[in-house]
Structure 1
Amino acid sequence: MSMEIRMIGTGSAFAKKYFNNNALVKCNGYTLMIDFGITAPLAMYHMGLPLDCIDGVFVTHLHADHIGGFEELMLRLKFNYGKKPSLFIEEGLIAPLWNCSLKGGLEFGAEGRQTLDDFFHVVPLTVGKPCEIVPGFRLEIVPTRHFLDMPSYALILNDYLFYSGDTVFDPQLLQAVHERGCSHMLHDCQLDGHGLVHATLPDLLTLPEPIQRKTWLMHYGDNMEAFVGKTGPMVFIRQHQSYSFEPPART
């Protein structure tokens, strides 16, 4: 089934020109937000999108540019809109998300002590077990290596679109994703500096050309425009624009 992706931001953690790298994915009438960072509420305001358009949220990992907007999202959906979305999250991240990132600002409320379940229908995810959100819309999580021992996860959507989250350069993972038939690959890209926690552009340019032709670059710095035309067959995905992705033709 086809999907529409609209990046509410495409920037790296410290970008100022571009918002945090977070995405809205629409499929079969369902709107999934991938991450919701510090700048996400402002980005959606600039796009004229109300927060209650979100039906569910997926968390790749617990850095602030990926979860920093959760407090506003949760409070406004619960108390302004009366909506309880689904939270799709790897099972081992559920407790740290609440206890280490959200509890201090959200546990105490007008209705007494609250928990994560008061704000979300929590859907635990397990590596190797795809989850069908609604008929025709599936997600599968894939572990990535990002920051020290912090768990982080990429997504494969409907078996044909790969969304890296944050990861160091991992050519074996990308080759495996390519070989399983993913026709579109959205990948974070550090444009300069050392690739300690992200794949760098020089790293990605070493990938086989068939993989590069599938690759859309995201999570980049404010100097992105200086690199246009220097990315080989890969292209930058732009914030606020809508992209339609169709499943590959099967032979």
Structure 2
Amino acid sequence: MSMEIRMIGTGQAFAKKYFNNNALVTCNGYTLMIDFGITAPLAMYQMNVPLDAIDGVFVTHLHADHIGGFEELMLRLKFNYNKKPTLFIEENLVSPFWEHSLRGGLEFGADSRQKLDDFFHIVTLKVGVPMEIHPGFRLEILPTRHFLDMPSYSVIINEQLFYSGDTVFDPELIRAVHERGCMYLLHDCQLEGHGLVHATLAELLTLPDTIQQKIWLMHYGDNMDQYIGKTGPMTFLLQHETYSFPIKASATKNE
């Protein structure tokens, strides 16, 4: 069994060459969108992927490069495609996601007031509690340290792929997911400067080679090409590329 990931963007929040770091994950016929930032609608258009290919969406946190495309996504899915996908979101993010980020542009419909559940089937996630969202497709969210007091989350998919979301360098978290058997670590990477809210390349290079060999770098700056060959055993994920990650049978209960 394998999991397919299409990186619709791999760039940091203000990148112009690379789109916002968002990903389409397909497993057992179900397609999950991880975040949907400002550039996501254009990225999907350029990749010739229709919005109704999305079955569900997972939100890591509420910065615009991760949720800035939701208004278009929600309106088009509802009115162009007549589709109501599933929103997977940490339970404490539901209210601020709607009240602080979306309500102003989406509440007023043509003939009635709209709510978040008019656009999505809402499924709340709890930290550290795995959930099967589709047969053979499981998520488990973990908290990350990004901005002070801002809730943000990483996700483990099918016990073997770790997707960091946005986080400062957290070697304890990285070692923990490595030791519990994650084979693929998709991690945000600030290429230069001091890592106030993201892990830096210099920090990630301090990890043991056995861990670095598992790391795929994402959420980087527009000068990524200047760092090719300077990442140790770690590999850059590339925008608009599709990756297939084999998953061991022992980690897929419904196989």
Equivalent position of 1:84 in the other structure? 84
Q: Which amino acid aligns with 1:69?
A: G
Secondary structure of 2:159's counterpart equals: coil
Mapping for residues 42-53 of structure 1, pairs under 5 Å: 42-53=42-53
Equivalent position of 2:182 in the other structure? 182
Q: Which amino acid aligns with 1:224?
A: M
- When normalised by structure 1's length, the TM-score is 0.98
Question: 1:111 & 1:239 partners in 2: Cα distance?
Answer: 40
Q: Which amino acid aligns with 1:133?
A: I
Secondary structure of 2:162's counterpart equals: strand
Equivalent position of 2:15 in the other structure? 15
Question: 2:215 & 2:56 partners in 1: Cα distance?
Answer: 26
The unaligned stretches of length 5 or more in structure 2 are 251-255
Give deviations 1:9-51, integer Å, cap 9, x for gaps. Answer: 0000000000000000000010000000000000000001111
Q: CA RMSD in A?
A: 0.8
Which structure's residues are more often strand, by fraction? 1
Deviation, 1:111, is 3.3
Q: Which amino acid aligns with 2:41?
A: P
- When normalised by structure 2's length, the TM-score is 0.97
Mapping for residues 18-37 of structure 1, pairs under 5 Å: 18-37=18-37
Give deviations 1:176-208, integer Å, cap 9, x for gaps. Answer: 000000000000000011100000000000001
Give deviations 1:98-125, integer Å, cap 9, x for gaps. Answer: 0000000000001311100000000000
Question: 2:165 & 2:121 partners in 1: Cα distance?
Answer: 22
Deviation, 1:248, is 4.1
Question: 2:171 & 2:247 partners in 1: Cα distance?
Answer: 23
The question of whether the paired residues in 2 share the 8 Å contact of 1:183 and 1:248 is answered with no
Equivalent position of 1:142 in the other structure? 142
Closer, same or farther: CA 186–138 of 1 in aligned 2, 3 Å: same
Equivalent position of 2:127 in the other structure? 127
